[in-house]
Amino acid sequence: MRERSLSAVKIIGVANHPALIRKRVEFAKRPEGYRDRDKMDEMLGVIRTPHGATFIDKFISNERSDDDAKDEPEQIESNEDFIFPDASEIQERIQPIRQRMLEAGK
The reply to whether 41 falls in a domain is: yes
From CA 15, how far away is CA 3, in angstroms rounded? 18
> Contact 41/25 with Cβ under 8 angstroms?
no
pLDDT digits (tens, 9 = 90+) for 19-39: 989 999 999 999 999 999 988
What total of structural domains would you count in the chain?
A: 1
Q: What domain range is 33 assigned to?
A: 2-51+79-104
In this predicted structure, what is the pLDDT of residue 52?
66
pTM of the model: 0.40
